[in-house]
């Protein structure tokens, strides 16, 4: 049992270190987009959800309005609400503990927590992964931003080409089936076609609205939504 627990902590540190490296690029991209050191670090502390942070600074860096960036960030953060639903019964937290746990509800902590068989292991995985990620994500952001601040012209290092690569790396793991792949291609086309005609950042919102409509109206709405919840495979 003890070995299992130290294994959980080791996994958490491994994920934390990997995401610290990924935060270096966030710090660099955010600084290149024109955010101050304080603004960059505030995003990692307060928003603490990678895809939303990259989207926010990506939209601002591309000349979009701050509010278009904010809306995109929030839309990308919507999936965390679903993670919260999965985690709430596992974690069993109330009051202040719940308020603290909420900040840690992200892709990595959810994946680590739901992968465990025992509730106590799930809780340990959630908190250990959350804590390691939070510390190293913020540290990585600070270092990335400081290093980029020291450069006179980040464009020389090709950092303006970094955001699309970051988005692609975040997107790729979600494309393992035909439908998501088709949605990704369609979304890219819609965004490019609408881009010349609407204010910067708005193509993203058009895409979000269209995929929302697609999800609600096109997909077969199987009866009995509750059975579609995770765990339905146990007959």
Partner 1 sequence: MLWAGLLTASAACYLLKLAGLSLPARLLQDARVQRTIPLVPIALLAALVATQTFSTGHHLVLDVRAVALGVAAIAVLLRAPFLVVVASAAATAALLRLL
Query: Which residues inside 115-174 make contact with partner 1, applying CB under 8 A?
Result: 156-172, 174
Nearer residue to partner 1 within complex by CB, 9 or 206: 206
Q: Does 232 bind partner 1 (CB under 8 A)?
A: no
Q: Which region, left, alpha or beta, applies to residue 224 given φ > 0 means left and ψ of -120 to 50 means alpha?
A: left
Residues 52-91 that bind partner 1 (CB under 8 A): 52, 55-56, 58-60, 62-63, 66-67, 69-89, 91
Work out how close the CB of 129 gets to partner 1 at its nearest, in angstroms, rounded to a whole number. Answer: 15
Please, which residue, 115 or 189, has the CB nearer to partner 1? 189
Q: How many CB atoms lie within 10 A of CB 145?
A: 27
Helix, strand, coil in percent for the chain, rounding step 5: 80, 0, 20
- Round to whole Å and give the CA distance between 82 and 45: 21
Q: How many other CB atoms sit within 10 Å of the CB of residue 1?
A: 7
CB of 151 to partner 1, least distance (A): 12
> Which parts of 188-207 interact with partner 1 (CB under 8 A)?
188-192, 195-197, 200, 203-204, 207
Between 4 and 78, CB nearer to partner 1 = 78
Question: Is 193 within 8 Å of 71 (Cβ atoms)?
Answer: no
Find the part of the chain contacting partner 1 (CB under 8 A) among 7-15, 22-30, 118-126, 128-136.
Answer: 22-30
CA 216 to chain centre: 23
Q: What is the C-alpha separation between 121 and 167, in angstroms, rounded?
A: 32
5 or 79: CB nearest partner 1: 79
Closest distance of CB 65 from partner 1, Å: 8
């Amino acid at each position: 049992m003890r070995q299992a627990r130290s294994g959980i902590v080791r996994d958490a540190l491994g994920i934390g270190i990997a995401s610290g490296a990924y935060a270096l690029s966030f710090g660099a991209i955010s600084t290149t987009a024109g955010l101050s050191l304080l603004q960059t670090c505030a995003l990692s502390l307060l928003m603490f959800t990678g895809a939303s942070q990259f989207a926010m600074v990506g939209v601002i860096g591309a000349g979009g309005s701050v509010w278009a960036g904010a809306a995109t960030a929030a839309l990308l953060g919507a999936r965390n609400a679903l993670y919260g639903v999965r985690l709430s019964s596992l974690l069993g937290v109330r009051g202040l503990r719940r308020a603290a746990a909420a900040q840690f509800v992200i892709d990595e902590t959810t994946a680590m927590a739901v992968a465990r068989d025992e509730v106590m292991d799930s809780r340990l995985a959630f908190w250990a992964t959350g804590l390691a990620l939070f510390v190293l994500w913020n540290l990585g952001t600070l270092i990335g931003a400081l290093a980029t601040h020291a450069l006179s012209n980040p464009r020389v290092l090709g950092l303006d080409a970094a955001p699309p690569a970051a988005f692609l790396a975040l997107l790729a793991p979600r494309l393992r089936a035909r439908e998501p792949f088709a949605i990704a291609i369609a979304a890219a086309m819609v965004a490019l076609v609408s881009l010349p005609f609407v204010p910067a950042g708005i193509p993203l919102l058009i895409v979000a609205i269209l995929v929302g409509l697609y999800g609600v109206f096109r997909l077969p709405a199987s009866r009995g939504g509750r059975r579609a919840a995770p765990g339905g495979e146990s007959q």
